[in-house]
Amino acid sequence: MQISKLPKLSESIFSTMSALANQYDAINLSQGFPNFKTSEKLQQLVTEAMQNGHNQYAPMRGDLELREVIAHKIYKSHQTQYNPLTEITITAGATEALFNAITAFVHQNDEVIIFKPAFDSYEPVVELNGGVPVFIQLNYPDYKINWDEVASKINSKTKMMIVNTPLNPTGTLFTNNDMLALQNLIKNTNIIVLSDEVYEHMTYDGLLHESACKYPTLKEHSFVIASFGKTFHNTGWKIGYTAAPKHLMDEFIKVHEFNVFSINTPYQKAFATYIQDENNYNYLNQFYQDKRNLFLDGIKNSKFTFTPTKGTYFQLLKYDTITQENDVDFAKRLVKEFRIATIPISVFNTNQLDEKVLRFCFAKTDETIKKATEILCQIH
Ligand code: PMP
Ligand code: GLN
């Protein structure tokens, strides 16, 4: 008898590489988190909320003021309205939101289309629910989507499609044409779109984030998932939210209610105040673009090759001019010999396709970025 529901799953690459980085005292550009501080003001708001007695259960869907503030933020960014009472839920990070949306809708043998390379939270949750992941592999360096191929994978069993823009780990963006193609494919179907938009505030070179909620038909089919951890430099706080039309959210909250019931109260109170000021997030595109540029400038004379990332706080570097080692082995060697930790991309690909590409997180202080690029220039 099979005991495990996820027999193929082993430790995540994020845990492996961060542990190796600690063991070898390496610069950790692997797991995606900033090494600079979250805002003092935000920390102060959390403390005040605790001191003011906001320490008991929050409403199941989240603090209402926070949901109202989020609805307003989405309206300002994308000119579309969600009802804060019924169409927005605060979650324990984007991770909980992904779990809820997949679990609420995917039945045994339902198919879920996933683009590869993909963030590692999607596939196991589909499998836990008895669903069947259907992969579409995209390729370095453009990771361009062939929408005819996507159309060919859709059939009567297709329940859901998971999209991620800006895309982790590739650093690519869905364009306006991609969104229109997606909308065209799912109109007149019951397919649900899980739109993972946790890097919404990290797009570069004047390119814009295309949210699923901007496209009216797409919006009707979509969960839009966001992460405060990613946006506000506090991944350890594990807060995010999901917006979706009522008919989808009604099912989502049935899982949320029995998964966590509600999210920690004082942090929600703090975000409700903090997010009201656009200046607390409008600077992010430029802020991270400067970091990306510092990183790319630092490695321009190295042997790595690259296409500048368009979004997320990750940069991919190809190393086939340095070695033909497989990417997992090379990543491990970089930690041990050069004291720099990265993420090998093959772990996110179908059949561990190895295109000799590593992912580097540049959400780091300028000092760390400079030290890291000096090391990268020494690798021949
Ligand atoms: N989606 C993507 C694409 C991610 O990179 C991450 C990692 N932060 C998550 C979801 C999970 O976000 P959170 O930390 O808010 O759970
Ligand atoms: N999203 C983070 C990354 O891609 C990792 C989150 C996690 O460790 N689960 O690096």
Find the 12 Cα to ligand 2 centroid distance in Å. Answer: 9
Find the 14 Cα to ligand 2 centroid distance in Å. Answer: 6
Confirm if 91 and 288 have CB atoms less than 8 A apart: no
The residue whose C-alpha atom lies closest to atom 2 belonging to ligand 2 is 32
Which ligand is the nearest neighbour of the Cα of 236? 1
The residue whose C-alpha atom lies closest to atom 8 belonging to ligand 2 is 14
Judge if the beta carbon of residue 376 lies within 6 A of ligand 1: no
Could you tell which of 119, 227, 312 is best to mutate to test the pocket of ligand 2, judged by most ligand atoms within 8 Å of the CB?
119
In this structure, is the dihedral angle defined by the CA atoms of residues 282, 365, 170 and 22, taken in order, positive or negative? negative
Helix orientation angle between 284-298 and 366-377, rounded to the nearest 10 degrees? 30
The burial class, CB within 10 Å (0-12 / 13-18 / 19+), for 152 is exposed
Judge if the beta carbon of residue 233 lies within 6 A of ligand 1: no
Return the pLDDT at 10: 87
Find the 240 Cα to ligand 2 centroid distance in Å. Answer: 14
Which among 133, 80, 139 has a CA at the least distance from the CA of 110? 133
Judge if the beta carbon of residue 194 lies within 6 A of ligand 1: no
Find the 94 Cα to ligand 2 centroid distance in Å. Answer: 11
Confirm if 252 and 55 have CB atoms less than 8 A apart: no
Closest approach atom of ligand 2 to CA 230: 1
Find the 44 Cα to ligand 2 centroid distance in Å. Answer: 26
Question: In angstroms, how far is CA 150 from the centroid of its own chain?
Answer: 21
Could you tell which of 18, 31, 347 is best to mutate to test the pocket of ligand 2, judged by most ligand atoms within 8 Å of the CB?
31
Return the pLDDT at 8: 87
Return the pLDDT at 143: 98
How do the pLDDT tens digits run along the chain, 380 residues long?
789 999 989 899 999 999 999 999 999 999 999 999 999 999 999 999 999 999 999 999 999 999 999 999 999 999 999 999 999 999 999 999 999 999 999 999 999 999 999 999 999 999 999 999 999 999 999 999 999 999 999 999 999 999 999 999 999 999 999 999 999 999 999 999 999 999 999 999 999 999 999 999 999 999 999 999 999 999 999 999 999 999 999 999 999 999 999 999 999 999 999 999 999 999 999 999 999 999 999 999 999 999 999 999 999 999 999 999 999 999 999 999 999 999 999 999 999 999 999 999 999 999 999 999 999 999 99
* Number of residues that this document lists for the chain: 380
CA pair distance 324, 67, nearest whole angstrom:
50
Judge if the beta carbon of residue 341 lies within 6 A of ligand 1: no
Q: pTM (2 decimals)?
A: 0.98
Judge if the beta carbon of residue 168 lies within 6 A of ligand 2: yes
**Domains of the chain (ranges, CATH numbers):** 13-31+283-376 (3.90.1150.10), 40-277 (3.40.640.10)
CA pair distance 136, 153, nearest whole angstrom:
9
Instruction: For the beta carbon of residue 246, count every other beta carbon within 10 angstroms.
Output: 11
